[in-house]
Amino acid sequence: MSKKNQQVSHPRPRLHQFPPLRKSWPQGDGQSLNAAEYQQQLMAGFQQGISDGFGQGMEQGKEQGYQDGLNQGREEGMQQGREDGRRIAHTEFMLAARPLDDLISQMQTQLDEYEQRRRSELLQLVEKVTRQVIRCELALQPTQLLALVEEALSVLPEAPKRLRVLLNPLEFARISESEAEKVSEWGLTSDPTIAEGECRIITEAAEMDVGCAHRLEQCMDVLSQNLAQPQDEPDAS
């Protein structure tokens, strides 16, 4: 048999069945639901789940918030209590210490007054002793007054043309015996108004007191200023 006369067999085509546009879903009792009812129940279940989750979350959040608030309130209360306690304790301490502060202030005032009296008495003692020493020295060596006169004349810009030196009568007599030439050279003169240890220089241009009292006064002023200054605290080391 030739190939031209041989018949070829072909498979038969099968028809495709499309699913229906509406599909039913079985229920638990065997009934079926359409898509709209299924979607409605699905949304209802979804909403119920959201509501239940929200309620559970709210309950848990409320409990957690309560615990957090309780812990925070307890901590803040303890902190506030400690601060109030410290403030009350400080106030009570200051009230209790006020009499002691007053006593310390009174003691300090008394100590300051005592120190001031001690310095004043010391200055008076120094001045009294110094005057006695000066008086004794001038009684033994009255010519020391001439050294004061000579020192005062040396600071003048030029030698005076006329010169007088007034002395106490007792000291004038003693100096006249030992330094007679100075009596005429400097014009030494006895003056009863002049105190012992004092002398006054009179020139044509000026008049100067160069006695011991003026120098002693200057020294006492310096000593008083030094004693008035606060003393340095001793080093504890």
Q: Per-residue pLDDT tens for 36-70? A: 776 777 777 777 777 777 677 777 767 777 777 77
CA distance linking residue 54 with residue 49, whole number of Å = 8
CA angle 219, 222, 224 (to 5 degrees): 105
* 2 — pLDDT class (breaks 50, 70, 90): very low
* 24 — pLDDT class (breaks 50, 70, 90): very low
For the purposes of burial, counting CB atoms within 10 Å of the CB of 164, is it exposed (0-12), middle (13-18) or buried (19 or more)? middle
Contact in structure between 168 and 196 (CB atoms under 8 Å): yes
* Pairing assessment for the beta strands 199-203 and 163-167 based on DSSP bridges: antiparallel
Q: Which domains does the chain have, with CATH numbers?
A: 113-226 (3.30.2320.30)
Tokens for 70, please give them.
């309780």
CA-CA distances (angstroms) from residue 193 to 50, 169, 200?
124, 9, 11
pTM for the full predicted model: 0.44
Tokens for 136, please give them.
């004794």
- pLDDT tens figures, 80-109: 888 888 888 878 777 877 888 888 888 888
Q: Compute φ and ψ for 165, nearest 5 degrees.
A: -125, 115
Q: Compute φ and ψ for 133, nearest 5 degrees.
A: -65, -40
* Between 30 and 161, residue with greater pLDDT: 161
Residues 6+ apart with CB under 8 A from 213: 195, 197, 198
- pLDDT tens figures, 137-157: 777 888 888 888 888 888 888
Query: What secondary structure letter does DSSP report for 155?
Result: T
CA distance linking residue 48 with residue 54, whole number of Å = 10
Percent of residues, the chain, with pLDDT higher than 90: 3
Contact in structure between 139 and 168 (CB atoms under 8 Å): no
Mean pLDDT lowest for which of 69-78, 203-212, 216-225? 69-78
* Pairing assessment for the beta strands 163-167 and 25-26 based on DSSP bridges: unpaired
CA distance linking residue 192 with residue 176, whole number of Å = 16
In the three-class reduction of DSSP (H, G, I as helix; E, B as strand; rest coil), residue 166 is classed as: strand
Task: State the CB neighbour count (10 A cutoff) for residue 144.
Answer: 15
Query: Is pLDDT at 4 greater than 50 in this prediction?
Result: no
In this structure, is the dihedral angle defined by the CA atoms of residues 74, 75, 78 and 83, taken in order, positive or negative? negative
- pLDDT tens figures, 124-139: 888 888 888 877 877 7
Query: Is pLDDT at 76 greater than 80 in this prediction?
Result: no
